[in-house]
Amino acid sequence: MSVLTYETLKLEIRDHVATVALAREPVNAMNRRMREELIEAASVLGGDPSVRAIVLTGLGKMFCAGADLNDRPDTSRLGAYTIHNRHVRECFNAVLECPKPIVAALNGPAIGAGLVLATCCDILVASDSAWVSMPEVEVGLAGGPRHMLRHFHQSDARLLMLTARRISGPDLLRMNVVSACVAAEDCVPTATSIAAEIAAKSPAAVRAAKKSFILGEDLPLNEAYRHEQSLTEVLSEGPDFAEAQAAFREKRSPDFSGD
């Protein structure tokens, strides 16, 4: 196991799975420093060959209460909001574009920007005591609809955004937003178990599959599938595919430790 230290995050790596916990208790509100560290962590872990999957969660009883209201841009300064928006956007993009799959463990409420952060992940798991909300319309703001559409269906996304209502963990499961809704004490272990399953697969193939998912969101079906086929062609000449074929012939599990 290796441990890296940040001011606003707690990060551990064990058995090819990195666990990143938001660590600004009591509510893990996102400030500029946390965004910078999330960008760095996603970049470092994305390039670390010892890491094959990531779990993102929060310390304490909250996943993330959203943006820190004490860290808003000074609108009296020209360009302040533009600079702020750029930092926020790049934070979410860093998580979204990380080449390693990220499993969000919603151990507690995910509000506003905290929910946006969760929707940037690949797979979501929720505690049965967790809930999510996008309260922007209650305070005269409206950010987040496009990110919500990554995991919410159209009607549910509009319900979430236009009413600002709280949606519970069990309802998230009913809406097919999360892949599992479990007891609070099982939330992170369940997410870690999923990450461990991913880590046991071909690292090259997993990276290619995630890349296809991300690119495919903005491509027509035919063009997206053509891209996937080109990746498969490259993978078919790689060591992981050769190992998988050898394992099949020898009736054993493949060993992808060479990556």
pTM for the complete prediction?
A: 0.92
Q: Is 57 helix (H, G, I), strand (E, B) or coil?
A: strand
- What does the pLDDT look like over 75-106, one tens digit per residue? 788 888 899 889 999 999 999 999 999 999 99
Residue 168 CB contacts under 8 Å (≥ 6 apart), including other chains: 128, 130, 131
Q: Checking DSSP bridges between strand 180-182 and strand 17-22, what pairing results, if any?
A: unpaired
Strand partners, 127: 182
Q: At what angle do helices 239-249 and 203-216 cross, to 10 degrees?
A: 120
pLDDT of residue 258: 61
Residues 58/104, Cβ–Cβ less than 8 Å: no
Residues 211/100, Cβ–Cβ less than 8 Å: no
Q: Give the pLDDT band (50/70/90) at residue 188.
A: very high
